[in-house]
Structure formats: structure tokens, C-alpha cells
Structure 1
Amino acid sequence: MYSYIDQHYEAVDFGGRDLRDGELIRCTFERCDFSAASMEELATTGCRFVDCSFRGALLNASTHAESAFLNCRFTEANLFVAKFSACKMTGTDFAQAQLDGFTVAGGDWSYVNLRHARLTKQDLRGVCFKEADLSGANLEKADLRGCDLTRVNLAQAKLKGADLRGAVMDGVNWPSVDVKGVRMDAAQAVLFLRAHGAKVD
């Protein structure tokens, strides 16, 4: 096991490297490439990754606490049973990433790309998904209570059995959302009805 503390890296190519079972504390990585790197069981705490690529990287069972991944790319990365606790993920792209069993505990996931992501039965309570793209995502039986879903794209998302109570849903395009089997609160029901032309007193 290795440990890096308070290190700064800029435009470094870590592609294909063996970075397994390491610990990164308060490190900063700017425009670094981790493509196809082996990063299983990596632990980050208070780190910042800015405009980095994790394309095809193996991050199975990795844990991330209060770290920031800003405008990063996890295209085709494997995040099986990875855990993100209170992380800031603004603008990050998870296109075709393997997300089975991964855990999100709070944090800011604004503007992320989670199109067609498989998020069934996920506990996503309190996460900020402001203006995120969740179109086509499978959110069946997901717990989204208390989330900020302002202007989120939920077109063609599967929401059967999902719990949206207490979530902020201003600006959501309700006509594109299939609410069959979804648990909603009264305020959301009013927004839904008004979006479909009903006059609610």
C-alpha cells in the first residue's frame, strides 16, 4: 500500500499504471490521464481531480471521501461497489461506466452525465443532481427523497417504484416523465398536474 499526501500533479500520464490499494490525501490532479489504470481499492480523501480522464479505468471497491471530480470523464470505467461520500462531481461524465453496486452518500452531482445509467434500488437521498442528465437511466425503486432535481433531464428514465418525496423538482419537463408507480408528495403532484394543463387551487 502506498500513500501520497498534499501532492500536486498537472498533465501527468498515469494511463495503464498499477495504482491499486493506495491512499491519496489532499492531493490535486489537473488534466491528468488515468485511462485504463488499475485503481482497485484506492482511497481518496479531500482530493481534487480537475478535467481528468479515467476512461476504462478499474476503480472497483475504491472509496472517495469529500473529494472533488470536476469535469472528469469516467467513460467505460468500472466503478463496481465504489463509494463516493460527500464528493463534488460537477460536470463529470459517466457514459457507459459500470456502476453496479456503487454508493453515493450525499454530495454535489450537478451537471453530471448519467444517461442510461443503471441505478436501480440506489439510496441517493439528499444528493444534488441539479441540471444532471438522467435521461434513459434506470432508477426503479431508487430512493431520491430530499434530492435537488432542479431542471434534471428525466426523459425516458425508468422510475417505477422510485421515491421522490421531498425532492426539489423545479423546471423538470414533467410531460417527458413516466410517473407510473412513483411515490410523490403533494407539491410534486401539483407541479405534475399543472404541467399537463390542470388548474389546481
Structure 2
Amino acid sequence: MAARRGSAVRSTATRKAREPRSPVPPAEVTLFEGAELEPESELEALAFYSSNLVDQDASSVTFTQCRLRGADLSASRLDQVTLTDCLVTDSSLANVRADGGSMTRVRLAQCRMTGVTWADGVLRDVAVTECRADLSAWRMTTFDAVTFVGCNLHSADFTNADLRGVVFRDCDLTSAVFHHASMEGTRFRGCNLAGVGDLTSWKGAVVHHTDLISLSYGLAQAAGIRVEDEDS
């Protein structure tokens, strides 16, 4: 049986961090005027400007060189969705479920992604900037050349994710979960790491010295050290 996209056998080598490659722009775009997404549809060089696509149920949809601005796809079920060379700005992906989905050369900026579920998928050359992605779930997803900058990732779930080479910068990762994640070369700078779960998975991660204060309680707990809040 063939392995699923996000569950392939992983190398244990460190993946070097690099900046994501930029999306290839389309020569021109055509305004999308539909009212819904059809399963297995192939959407190319389309502009989804202020599109209302709430609560869609469409698997295996392909977006290629599309532009989404002010689009609302919240509460949609988009399993096996594919985005390639896309720009997504000021849009809502809140509570979207996209198990097995993939993104390649994608930019997401100022988007609402609260509660998004992107499990067992692949993100390659993806930049996520100033997005609200609290309570998001990325279980078993593979990340390659991905940056999260200025994002709210409070209580995000990266269980069993391959995060080697991912960069988190100026992000709120309070109470995020990294259970059994692969984190060799994962970099953190300017992040709030208070209450992060399962620091035993952090072997090989690179943490800026200014982030150690918020991480210190978790490190102490992992080492079996009891921290007293009051003078004894």
C-alpha cells in the first residue's frame, strides 16, 4: 500500500533552514464568480476577491496560481486540497479541515486560521505572516522551507509533525504541542514559548537566548525540577 502524503518514511537528517521560494505569478487572473467549489475541480489563475465560500464540502480541489483576497472559506471541508503558486491575504480559513492537503510556493498573510486542521499533509516553500492560527492542528504534516512570522499559534498542535528547518519568528506559541515532532534544526526567535508541551521532542532545535525565559519552566518540568513560586 502506498504511503499517504504526510506519513511517508522520514529521514533523520537535519533539514537546513532556508527562505521559502516565492510563488510563480500568473500572466493574468480571471475573477471567480461561482457560488461553490466542486469536488476534484481544477482552478487556475483565478481571483477570489471577497468570495463567500463558507461551509463548502469539496475534496481534491486544485488551486494553481490563484489569488485569494478577503475570501471566506471558513468551516469548509477541503480534504486533499492542493495550492500551488498562490497568494492568500486577509482571508478566513477558520475551522477549515484539509486533511492530506498540500501547499507549494504559497504565501498566507493577515489571514484568520483559528481551528484550521491540516493533518497528514505537506507544506513546501510556504510563508505564513501575521496570521491568527490559534488552536490549529498540523498533526503528521511535513514542513519544508516554511516560515511562521508574527503569528498567533496559541495551543497549536504539531504532534508527529516534521518541523525540521522550519522558522518561527515573533510568534505566540503559548501552550503549543510538539509531541513526537521531528525538530532538528527548527528555529525559534522572539517567540513566547510558555507552556509548550513535550520538550523531549526538542532535540536539535535552535532557540534564541531571549526565548529561554518563557521556555524555562517547561525545561525545568522536563528535567524533574520543582519550581516554587513563593519564598520558602
Short-chain TM bin: 0.7 to 0.9
Quote the Cα distance in structure 1 between the aligned partners of 2:227 and 2:74. 45
Hey, what does 2:58 align to over in structure 1? 34
Amino acid at match of 1:104: V
RMSD value over aligned CA atoms?
2.4
Hey, what does 2:82 align to over in structure 1? 58
Q: Return the offset for 1:121.
A: 4.0
| Cα separation, partners in 2 of 1:170 and 1:39, compared to 1, 3 Å | same
- Please point out which of 33, 39, 49 is paired with 1:15: 39
- Please point out which of 121, 132, 145 is paired with 1:97: 121
Hey, what does 1:190 align to over in structure 2? 216
| Cα separation, partners in 2 of 1:141 and 1:197, compared to 1, 3 Å | same
Question: Alpha-carbon deviations, 1:139-193, whole Å to 9, x = none?
Answer: 2232212211111111112222222232112222244442444224330452234
Amino acid at match of 1:66: D
Hey, what does 1:24 align to over in structure 2? 48
Q: Return the offset for 1:90.
A: 1.1
Is 1:126 the counterpart of 2:150 in the alignment? Answer: yes
Quote the Cα distance in structure 2 between the aligned partners of 1:78 and 1:173. 26
Q: Return the offset for 1:13.
A: 5.0
SS at match of 1:94: coil
Query: Structure 2: where are the runs of 5+ without partners?
Result: 1-28
Is 1:111 the counterpart of 2:139 in the alignment? Answer: no
Question: Alpha-carbon deviations, 1:82-130, whole Å to 9, x = none?
Answer: 2211211111111222312222122111111111222244221222111
- Please point out which of 131, 155, 163 is paired with 2:187: 163
SS at match of 2:108: strand
Is 1:142 the counterpart of 2:142 in the alignment? Answer: no
Asked if the contact 1:161–1:183 (Cα under 8 Å) also holds between the matched residues in 2, the reply is no
TM-score, length of structure 2 as denominator length = 0.75
Amino acid at match of 1:2: T
- Please point out which of 87, 90, 102 is paired with 1:78: 102
Higher strand fraction (1 or 2): 2
Amino acid at match of 2:166: A
Aligned residues: 197
Is 1:69 the counterpart of 2:93 in the alignment? Answer: yes
| Cα separation, partners in 2 of 1:96 and 1:174, compared to 1, 3 Å | closer
